[in-house]
Amino acid sequence: MIVNSLSLCYHNKLILAPMVRVGTLPMRLLALDYGADIVYCEELIDLKMLQCKRVVNEVLSTVDFVAPDDRVVFRTCAREQSRVVFQLGTSDAERALAVARLVENDVAGIDVNMGCPKEYSTKGGMGAALLSDPDKIEKILSTLVKGTCRPVTCKIRILPSLEDTLSLVKRIERTGIAAIAVHGRKREERPQHPVSCEAIKAIAETLSIPVIANGGSHDHIQGYLDIEDFRQTTAASSVMVARAAMWNPSIFLKEGLRPLEEVMQKYIRYAVQYGNHYTNTKYCLCQMLREQLESPQGRLLHAAQSSQEICEAFGLGAFYEETTRELDARRAKLLARTPEEAREPVEDTSGVVKMAVKFDRRAYPPQITPKMCLLEWCRREKVAQPVYETIQRPLDRLFCSVVTVAEQKYQSTLWDKSKKLAEQAAAIVCLRSQGLPEGRLGEESPCPRKRKREGPDQDPGSPRAQEPALLGELCKKPLLALGSGEESLLEGR
């Protein structure tokens, strides 16, 4: 049996369960503060993660996985790196491995969700839907175990019969996973149904890998001592706590539960310090308040429409203002750094032609852009088409592009809010440095739209006949490679 050598220890651990909308960074850090040994993030779908780009957020001191729409899908930090497990929603082995390799340097383990019964998970063949396809389960887990440097686990529910459940978990164990979490309910059962401690115990007594018991919040776990009782009842190696931790993360504290007001304030501080979206913060606080949602404080929380208003509802208005100032000052300081101070990888820029320019769409006719002008010139002069290399600055997510034409690089020193704008700016630098038209309104030789051919009886002096020529007819000056920092033009051939 193959077992990943870089394993978390899953024996005798207190674990924060993966919970949608709850298992974000502030809650995970809070659980660690109160004694959790391992924390799981919420289930994140493979297709969504594969669209993300890894960004080091120097303002928040986090690593962010950012979607194309700039939404942070997963955020983590050094504090939890050795104890956070990334839970993946997937139904495909290759996609699962691609995501694992994307995040493996920033997390301690990879878990596959095979227990979520909700439609948003099962409709794509993920979550509990996998329980009816043991072959797919085996392929996904085997591929992950062989292909990632992190320990692999999975979280399942029990099947209708104990015999089928034991057969499945034995097959899962043979894939080489490091541990298995078992929610002691069937796919169709909900929290009000009793958890089957007997089924979890049978699994624990059958397998040699650690079994993590889950599902005890409703009937068994009301305080810290109950966690150990649940572990002994199920004969499990460790216990994973979900809703009891959502209601009060200090459930992991040996000394007992802390006052809810104190817990919520601590959670809010983490939420502000790590840029948590206010809607997620509000949701988690509502889960903690529960029956107190109709209290004066609950009503203030319900009415809050920003992180600042949430802070004010809990007497943390001054904290919000101070933290915001600190983050703004840190952001300004980082933006003011030179490339050397920023330790950004900087290519040797000798010979790169630079100008401080931006592309303003209003300054150009419809359908005409500097990139079009540059491309048309290259085609006419039989020069290789322009090659754009664009980078995004992690700090503020702005873009800068370098265009290469005839082995010469051109770049604007101003950063833009999109990749397309940055490329247009680079094209402008190239065109202006060579004295070529860029298509601006009112330009002496603008880059025009294509003209219609003259009819045989058309007067060459008519206004229509005098429409500007094709772009290639205007942009006739070939480029000259620059030397010694000078800009030159060859005479037209």
CA gap 279, 310 in Å, rounded = 10
Task: Please give the radius of gyration of the chain, using alpha carbons only, rounded to the nearest integer.
Answer: 30
Interior/surface letters 298-315, b for 16+ CB within 10 angstroms, e for the rest? beebeebeebbbbbebbe
pLDDT, one tens digit for every residue, the chain (493 residues): 333 445 689 999 999 999 999 999 999 999 999 999 999 999 999 999 999 989 899 999 999 999 988 899 999 999 999 999 999 999 999 999 999 999 999 999 999 999 999 888 888 899 999 999 999 999 999 999 999 999 999 999 999 999 999 999 999 999 999 999 999 999 998 888 999 999 999 999 999 999 999 999 988 999 999 999 999 999 999 999 999 999 999 999 999 999 999 999 999 999 999 999 999 999 999 999 998 999 999 999 999 999 999 999 999 999 999 999 999 999 888 877 655 455 444 444 568 998 888 898 888 898 899 999 999 999 999 999 999 999 988 777 889 999 999 999 999 988 888 999 999 999 999 999 888 999 988 775 545 444 343 343 343 333 333 333 333 333 444 443 333 333 332 233 3
Active-site hit among 41, 77, 116, 197: 116
Q: Taking the CA of residue 286 as centre, how many other CA atoms within 13 Å lie in the half-sphere pointing to its CB?
A: 14
Q: What is the pTM of this model?
A: 0.71
Residues with Cβ within 8 Å of residue 100, at least 6 apart in sequence: 86, 88, 110, 144, 147, 148, 150, 152
Domains and their CATH numbers in the chain:
13-258 (3.20.20.70), 261-337 (no CATH), 352-434 (3.30.160.20)
- Look up 52 and say whether it is catalytic: no
Look up residue 336 and give its two tokens.
């003011």
